[in-house]
Amino acid sequence: MTKPAKPVLLTGASGNLGRMLARELGAKGWTLRLTDLTPFPDPLPEGATFTRADLTDGVTMLRLAEGCGAILHFGGASTDLPFETVLGPNIQGLYHIYEAARREGARVLFASSNHSIGFHERPAGNAAKLDADCAFRPDSFYGLSKCYGELMGRLYWDKHGVENVNIRIGSSFTEPVDARMLSTWLSYGDLARLVERAVLAERTGHCVIWGASNNPATFWGADHRDRIGWQPEDSAESYRDKVGGIHADPVSERYQGGGYTASGYSRAQPSAPDAFALDDAS
């Protein structure tokens, strides 16, 4: 199978990743229903429709998902923002997506984030990489909303059998722009292929996949990519000479979430690597 038998709903279609996916999947002949809060800035792919809508509008989300076999959920607040800004689209909006998926028997691909685990320390030397079954350690309200999203998928799988693929996206840009992205970069090509395999796979259950290309400096280890038959083809290593060096902020350099961990940081000293350990920080 090279394309889904049913239409696919793509939220966040007007964002950088949504536009790229609309273009790449549309070129493969997929029937796409695109939606976003802001107008779609590009020519619509053949066979695609666009509806301007708010994720908090549950009735519209249900209508858009009618007859769909998969929902690619890339919509919502996508950066480090205040709680009240994140609350509507990333919490209430996600509920509407999963309710639509339950009603239609659709698979959800959730654009999660490395910021759901951002306060794990970066592995040094030959230290073990972080596996996908690690504890959540969000670095922001945005990261916290991604933990919620993955747990929503867990709930809807356990209670309703809704299959979901959670992609913990690292840094998806046309190319790496700083030294941290030598570890976290996900090329557009690798992301498009990951999404394609996640939709077309025979079964996924509830699974988590690190959204990063084949980077030797990666922070991350085992995940569920074999379940969908995806392996990244690109690598950040060829950009090593182009990106900058060490970030000046020691908090950003200590943790996997980078700058999100340093934003608003007020501890006198770092918390312990064990999330439940006591320490003498104030």
* Annotation marks residue 142 as catalytic: yes
* Residue 14 backbone dihedrals phi, psi, to 5 degrees: -90, -5
Phi, psi of 123 (to 5 degrees): -70, 135
**Length of the chain, please?**
282
C-alpha torsion 112→113→114→119, nearest 10: -100
Cβ partners under 8 Å of residue 207, min gap 6: 164, 165, 166, 223, 224, 227, 228
Q: Could you say which of 142, 156, 188, 255 is catalytic?
A: 142
The rounded distance, in Å, linking the Cα atoms of 77 and 90 is: 6
SS3 76: coil
How far is residue 61's CA from residue 279's CA, in Å, rounded to a whole number? 46
Q: Which residues are catalytic?
A: 142
